[in-house]
Amino acid sequence: MYEVGEYLQVADYFVVVTGLSRPHVKAIHQELHVRLKKLGELHRKPEGADMAWWVILDYDAVVVHALQAEAREYYDLDTLYSECTELDWREVELPALTLPGEEVLAADIDPALDIDPAQEA
């Protein structure tokens, strides 16, 4: 996760995740879409969702890049954004996310869906 707001005007944060295969990248895209839509967060039309080589989900302040390992290596976003502050996503404090009439949803997140830190920036 990179804090890019100081360098780019398109977003404050870029989240870069690696999928192990085309179906995995599609699953990452689908899971993010479903969970965040449930919380009222909508993204622009995803880029690259059909091929699932590199899928971009633009949530305005946060842009998620889900790439297959080969795409991540080829495009080397980590070097491209190396001047930006890199944040550990596990240490980013998130706001309490609730829906009307529901408890805090952060506790409902399935730990089985945790992303391997070795695959994460």
pTM of the full structure: 0.73
Q: What is the pLDDT of residues 35-70, one digit of tens each?
A: 888 888 888 888 988 888 999 999 888 899 999 999
Please give the pLDDT value at position 31.
92
Lowest mean pLDDT, pick from 15-19, 41-45, 95-99: 95-99
Range of the domain at 6: 2-119
CB neighbour list of residue 91: distance below 8 Å, 6 or more residues apart: none
**What's the length of the chain?**
121
What is the CATH classification number for the domain harbouring 18? 3.30.460.10
Q: What is the number of domains present in the chain?
A: 1
DSSP-derived letter for residue 81 is T
Could you tell me which residues are beta bridge partners of residue 18? 67
* C-alpha span between 27 and 85 (Å, rounded): 28
Give counts: helices (H), strands (E), the chain: 3, 5
Query: Among the residues of the chain, which ranges form H helices?
Result: 22-38, 69-75, 77-80
